[in-house]
């Protein structure tokens, strides 16, 4: 039941006299955002009609509608026609910037260890521009609750017991349907294994391959530091294969003599390039000669300025292991992903999953299946694309305004940009200086095994446009300090 906020002269004790000249919409959006954050206007509350609040404040209706629009773009409110403007999410907690301390600098003090992402995630900061963070404020809470109620209504008592370690039949069918419709992959639901995100899927694959005598998996360079950490945790060597403007250098892959390769062909991390047609053909020929491809379909759904590219798995299923998840579509907190493997690896993968955890929690799987089957997930994806384009464009403007000498890569899709920096600057020093100023970024050098040009990997999906501009201004100051 939505709670109604009564409009009147005392609404939030707002005094338009506090607004700066020419900045009334910004001022009102900020006051409303703060009231939502501290609970004075709770989730589910209906804001006053724009004409009513405008009359009470003595401002034009356009001021109020602009403020409401900004909250809508931030994901804090939604317009529901005659039901009004309703609060659906609280802003992320803002940590007040503290003076520089040894703990803040320690994240970048040495070569990144296994806990470096945990350290960066928990480091205090005002803005988080690290990659891989989706728009968490946009999580479809109402749709999730509806799906959850529908699932609980029809569950039998036996459904609360232990389930199949490969995942619930409902979600495996929903994932198979999703992949066929969105990624061009035809797969029997029985082949789908549900995992706790791509991270667990990759760990299970690494375990299976190691047990089968595979001790080397080539990786993209630059490529995800987290991927290398997972593979090395299972004692696999990770020789680097260069990435250029066309994607993975297959000729250099062949020179490594590695039996397997891990790559992100739809939107390479961190450069954002797409594996082009010629490279795809060469890679598939390499696989047909006995190589194994591990495909992380990273950011595949988040495309803006280019048509979708088909998944490699759909072209050569007997030589491609495929992983995906809803971490970037909904939220990492769900820990739901999937993995497909060639038939010869399936039994070993299922055994590894069974021994790892007996299978993912069944209830979230069933709710996700309901979202997929009802079309709610696709509607949510369309909403995200519109929001992400606005934030991507805001990030591009901010880079142009504050880092005029930088070069942007990978803007056509995904949730992050790679920005390479001019000169001989140390990108780790820039990231450390940015953190001291309250902004989190990742240095490109973290993600390379070979020397890379200095650069920063900047996520934009989790922050509204105004924060992105402020964050890039801070990064520019950090760059000046580091040079």
Whether residues 329 and 201 share a domain: the answer is yes
Whether residues 322 and 272 share a domain: the answer is yes
CATH at residue 242:
3.40.640.10
Give domain status of residue 92, yes or no: no
Helix (H, G, I), strand (E, B) or coil at 453: coil
Q: Please tell me whether the overall predicted TM-score, pTM, comes out greater than 0.85 for this model.
A: no
pLDDT tens digits for 144-183? 999 999 999 999 999 999 989 999 999 999 999 999 998 9
The C-alpha atoms of residue 86 and residue 44 are separated, in whole angstroms, by 6
The C-alpha atoms of residue 231 and residue 208 are separated, in whole angstroms, by 11
Whether residues 114 and 213 share a domain: the answer is no
**More reliable by pLDDT, 100 or 347:** 347
Give domain status of residue 96, yes or no: no
Give domain status of residue 169, yes or no: yes
Whether residues 230 and 334 share a domain: the answer is yes
Last residue of a domain, one of 376, 398, 430: 376
Lowest-pLDDT range, 12-16, 205-209, 449-453?
12-16
CATH at residue 116:
3.90.1150.10
Whether residues 272 and 249 share a domain: the answer is yes
Whether residues 411 and 294 share a domain: the answer is no
Give domain status of residue 234, yes or no: yes
Phi and psi, residue 203, nearest 5°? -65, -40
Whether residues 371 and 248 share a domain: the answer is yes
pLDDT, position 92: 58
In the chain, % of residues over pLDDT 70: 95
pLDDT tens digits for 265-280? 999 999 999 999 999 9
Whether residues 63 and 187 share a domain: the answer is no
What are the DSSP calls for 180-247, one per residue?
HHHH-----GGG-EEESHHHHHHHHHHHHHHHTT--BEEEEES--HHHHHHHHHTT-B--EEEEETTE
Give domain status of residue 402, yes or no: yes
Give domain status of residue 151, yes or no: yes
pLDDT tens digits for 280-330? 999 999 999 999 999 999 888 888 777 778 899 999 999 999 999 999 999
Whether residues 226 and 317 share a domain: the answer is yes
Asked if the model's pLDDT at residue 210 lies above 90, the reply is: yes
Whether residues 396 and 365 share a domain: the answer is no
CATH at residue 38:
1.10.10.10
Range of the domain at 71: 3-87
Structural domains in the chain (count): 3
| β-bridge mates for residue 338, sequence order | 194, 324
Token pair 């040009």 is found at 453
pLDDT tens digits for 102-124? 444 478 877 888 899 999 999 99
Give domain status of residue 93, yes or no: no
C-alpha distances in Å from residue 9, one per residue of 15, 26, 172, 308: 9, 20, 54, 52
**More reliable by pLDDT, 55 or 446:** 446
Give domain status of residue 130, yes or no: yes
Task: Please state whether beta strands 77-79 and 439-440 pair in parallel, antiparallel, or not at all (unpaired).
Answer: unpaired
388 token code pair: 């992400």
Whether residues 58 and 109 share a domain: the answer is no
Last residue of a domain, one of 344, 376, 408: 376
Q: Is the dihedral of CA 10, 11, 17, 18 positive or negative?
A: positive
Whether residues 55 and 200 share a domain: the answer is no
pLDDT tens digits for 72-102? 877 788 888 877 898 888 775 544 344 444 4
């Amino acid at each position: 039941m939505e709670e109604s906020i009564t409009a009147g002269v005392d609404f939030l004790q707002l005094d338009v006299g506090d607004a700066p000249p020419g900045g009334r919409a910004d001022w009102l959006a900020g006051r409303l955002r703060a009231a939502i954050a501290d609970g004075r206007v709770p989730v589910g509350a209906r804001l006053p009609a724009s004409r009513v609040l405008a009359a009470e404040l003595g401002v034009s209706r356009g001021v109020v509608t602009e403020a409401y629009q900004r909250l809508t773009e931030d994901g804090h409110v939604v317009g529901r026609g005659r039901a009004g403007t309703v609060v659906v999410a609280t802003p992320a907690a803002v940590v007040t910037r503290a003076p520089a301390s040894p703990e803040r600098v320690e994240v970048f003090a040495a070569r990144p260890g296994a806990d470096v992402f945990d350290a960066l995630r928990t480091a205090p900061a005002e803005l988080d521009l690290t990659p891989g963070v989706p728009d968490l404020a946009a999580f479809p809470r109402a749709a999730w609750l509806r799906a959850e109620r529908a699932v609980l209504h029809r569950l039998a008592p036996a459904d609360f017991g232990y389930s199949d370690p490969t995942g619930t039949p409902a979600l495996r069918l929903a994932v198979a349907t999703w992949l066929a419709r969105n990624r061009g992959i035809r797969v029997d639901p029985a082949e789908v294994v549900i995992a706790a995100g791509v991270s667990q899927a990759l760990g299970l694959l690494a375990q299976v391959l190691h047990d089968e005598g595979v001790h080397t998996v080539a990786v993209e360079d630059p490529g995800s530091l987290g991927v290398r950490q997972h593979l090395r945790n299972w004692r696999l060597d990770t020789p680097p294969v260069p990435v250029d403007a066309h994607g993975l250098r297959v000729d250099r892959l062949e020179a490594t003599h590695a039996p397997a390769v891990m790559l992100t062909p739809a939107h390479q991390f961190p450069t954002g390039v797409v594996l082009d047609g010629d490279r795809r053909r060469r890679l598939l020929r390499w696989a047909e000669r006995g190589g194994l491809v591990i495909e992380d379909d990273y950011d595949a759904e988040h495309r803006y300025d280019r048509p979708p590219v088909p998944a490699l798995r759909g072209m050569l299923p007997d030589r491609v292991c495929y992983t995906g998840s809803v971490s970037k579509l909904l939220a990492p907190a769900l820990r739901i992903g999937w993995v497909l493997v060639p038939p010869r690896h399936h039994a070993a993968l299922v055994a590894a999953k069974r021994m790892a955890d007996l299978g993912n929690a069944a209830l979230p799987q069933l709710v996700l299946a309901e979202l997929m089957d009802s079309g709610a997930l696709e509607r949510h994806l369309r909403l995200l694309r519109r929001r992400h384009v606005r934030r991507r464009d805001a990030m591009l403007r901010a880079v142009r305004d504050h880092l005029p000498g930088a070069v942007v890569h990978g803007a056509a899709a995904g949730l992050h940009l790679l920005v390479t920096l001019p000169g001989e600057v140390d990108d780790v020093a820039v990231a450390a200086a940015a953190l001291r100023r309250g902004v989190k970024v990742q240095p490109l050098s973290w993600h390379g095994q070979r020397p890379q040009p200095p650069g920063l990997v900047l996520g934009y999906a989790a922050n509204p446009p105004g924060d992105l501009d402020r964050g890039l201004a801070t990064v520019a100051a950090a760059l000046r300090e580091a040079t």
